[in-house]
Amino acid sequence: MQRRLNDINGVLRGIGVVVNATLKEQTLKASWAWSKSDYRNILTTVSKSLCSKISDQNLSQTASYIAGRIWLLNQQNFIIAKSLILPKLAESFGFVPATNVGDKEGTSNSGTDIKTANDAETSQLKSQKNTAESNKRKPLLLQDYPIPSPPTLDQKAFSKERRVPSSRIGRVAGFGNLALSLGVGAATEWAKQKVGYPVSGDSAAPPNVFLAEANLEKIVDTLCRMRGAALKLGQMLSIQDESFVSPQVQKIFERVRQAADFMPAKQMRKVLTSELGENWTEHVNDFEEKPFAAASIGQVHRATLKDGRIVAIKIQYPGIADSIDADINNLTSLLNRFNIFPRGLFADKAIEVARKELRAECDYLLEAVYSKRFAQLLEGDPVFQVPQVIDELTTSRVLTTEYMNGLVLDDCISLPQNVRNWIGEQLLRLCLKELFVFHVMQTDPNWSNFLYNPQTGKIVLLDFGASREYDKSFVDTYIRLIHASAEHDEETILKLSKDLGFLTGYETKVLQQAHVNAVSILGEAFASEENFDFSQQSTTKRISHLIPVMLEHRLSPPPEESYSLHRKMSGCFLLCSKLKAVVNCRPLFYEIWNNYQFSDTNPSD
């Protein structure tokens, strides 16, 4: 009996030696196979990607992601071990592995198992990516961040209560007085420079005596008093980058952007009565006579309706709609007299486009239609919010909507970096969606038209007066142009620019290359695989260096759609720059590009 036990013990020890030797051999083979495996490279790449993208905001998601990858790695190691080690071990004991029915070679299921694990990995990665993208498009709350009540305009030192010149004679006289005072101011500045008298403001004298600081003050004062088309120009100048507008000009027009002068209560009530009727006060419990905002066309008052709703009532300045043509003609004459328009600007076309846009903006009923349309288009969006229109208190000259709380983007500059990044990404997403999905865009990028509410985490969209639609054929070609820019395809950029009307085909090579370079620079944000740091971008500065060449050699004005479109796109980029946002722009564009439905066929798509 003892002998049999000793024999069995010896056999078991022998089996142990064989098993250890087999495991050692197969472990070496498995290690060699792993070193040559594609999974190893994939895991290394993903690990590096994770390290570069970990932030406080997505730390928990990242931890879950890494845990999932480790689990998948263990599953793959088990499958590899099962396919390489167990068959050899079974053969050592004389067992024959079972074969699949119909498998002539008698192969194992290891390939199927690996494919199953790989499919599971791909599915999990897609799920995690979609979750991350979904989280980016959820409201971003800052519960403890207070929303200050907006001050009324009489609390702002730069705002004045002044009657709006509503008659044609009064408005012509206003521009005439401005022209006379500017002429005197320019002559005085020229004389100062000739005799070496120190100039006011910056130490370097402006190249155009018309732009002396004293004259700029006169312009701002007149624009704030006249309002209308003239003030609109000042507000457009105020949101330009310093590469296009000197810091001196930009600083002084900042006052124009923030607020115009506001109407006296008597003049304001006269407008309300003429538009809403003598009994308009019966609809409200409380009406604040001091406006909390004023713009180029109207001013906005807060009120409380009988049902308790707080609303914002926008009241158009009297005579503005009827004086658009006269204002633009007077302003154009003034600017031409002082040689402000550069050669090659095709000012007549630009002015005609501005004239059409201003006429549309003066129709508050049209703005109400666009406001309702955007509310419908963005109904399922978790981030953006559009105020409800109060139809019974809305006419062509008065627009009433629900009052919305929030921080204007000027006040968001001090918010945490991740919040500014999020705001910038949402604004870019909206801009792309407006053009390429909705084919209708609110084209005024004024900072006051966007409010971030830290308590709801949403972005409120205001003022749809500058909304316009774009033909599908134009959008089809324009999205191809942006795609060509993102892919650095200069030949396609040139061809599509001719198709859109930016070029005639008879321009010099110098102009063609300058145009291609400008388009390529604009597409850099969508071309970059990495996060795009808007605080470090030099887009506007580099384009400004190309503008003199383009103005000198341009043979035709750009297409009409480009005036409003590029104003919105460049303004959106500038907003991101002011916020110092860091955004991964490429996925935003390619999500739309990959799902875009063209109305025509193009072999290149």
For residue 371, the tally of other CB atoms under 10 A from its CB is: 25
pLDDT over threshold 90, residue 584: yes
Concatenated DSSP letters for 264-316? -HHHHHHHHHHHH-TTGGGGEEEE-SS-SEE-SSEEEEEEEETTS-EEEEEEE
Query: Greatest CA span in the chain, whole angstroms?
Result: 130
In this predicted structure, the answer to whether residue 255 has a pLDDT above a threshold of 70 is no
State if pTM tops 0.75. Answer: no
Other CB atoms closer than 10 Å to residue 535's CB: what's the count?
Answer: 12
Question: How far are the Cα atoms of 169, 503, 545, 553 from residue 548, in angstroms, in the given order?
Answer: 39, 16, 7, 9
94-98, 350-354, 392-396: which has the minimum mean pLDDT? 94-98
Mean pLDDT over each residue of the chain, to the nearest integer: 75
Mean pLDDT of 454-464: 94
Query: Looking at the DSSP assignment, which residues form a beta bridge with residue 582?
Result: 533
- Angle of the 59-92 helix axis to the 110-136 helix axis, nearest 10: 180
| Short-list 188, 579, 235, CA closest to 419 | 579
DSSP annotation of 93 reads: T
Element (H, E) at 484: helix 472-486
Residue 497's pLDDT is what? 94
Ordered by start, the domain boundaries in the chain are 2-136, 470-595
Distant-in-sequence, close-in-space partners of 75: CB < 8 Å, separation ≥ 6: 117, 120
Segment holding 213, helix H or strand E: helix 213-226
The whole-number pLDDT of residue 273 equals 96
Handedness of CA 197, 202, 208, 210 (dihedral sign): negative
Alpha-carbon gap, residue 12 to 422, rounded angstroms: 66
**Contact call for residues 494 and 503 (beta carbons, < 8 A):** yes
Q: Is the dihedral of CA 8, 10, 12, 14 positive or negative?
A: negative
Token pair listed for 598? 């063209």
> pLDDT per residue over 518-568, tens digit each?
899 888 899 988 999 998 877 767 776 777 777 777 788 889 998 889 889
For helices 213-226 and 229-238, angle between their N-to-C axes, nearest 10 degrees? 130
C-beta of residue 389 within 8 angstroms of C-beta of residue 403: no
Q: What percent of the chain has pLDDT over 90?
A: 35
**Does 502 have pLDDT greater than 70?**
yes
CB 507 within 8 A of CB 553: yes
Q: What residue type is assigned to position 433 of the chain?
A: K
Q: How far apart are CA 351 and CA 356, in angstroms?
A: 9
354: which strand partners? none
Report the candidate in 332, 268, 338, 278 with the shortest Cα–Cα distance to residue 299.
268
Active site residue 444: yes
- Least confident piece of the model among 40-49, 329-338, 346-355, 491-500: 40-49
**Residue 279 CB contacts under 8 Å (≥ 6 apart), including other chains:** none
pLDDT tens figures, 71-113: 444 454 444 444 444 444 444 434 444 444 334 344 444 444 5
Highest mean pLDDT among 122-136, 432-446, 544-558: 432-446
- Residue-wise pLDDT tens digits, 359-380: 899 999 999 999 999 999 999 8
Sign of the Cα torsion 568, 573, 578, 581 reads positive
121-128 long-range contacts, CB within 8 A, separation 24+: 121/72, 124/68, 124/72, 128/61, 128/64, 128/65, 128/68
Residue 304 has pLDDT above 90, yes or no: yes
Reduced to 3 states (helix: H, G, I; strand: E, B; else coil), residue 431 is helix
Which of the following is catalytic: 327, 444, 476, 489? 444
Q: What confidence category does residue 2 fall into, taking pLDDT thresholds of 50, 70 and 90?
A: low
Which pLDDT score, from 0 to 100, does residue 397 have? 96
Residue 546, pLDDT score: 75
Does position 576 have pLDDT exceeding 70, yes or no?
yes
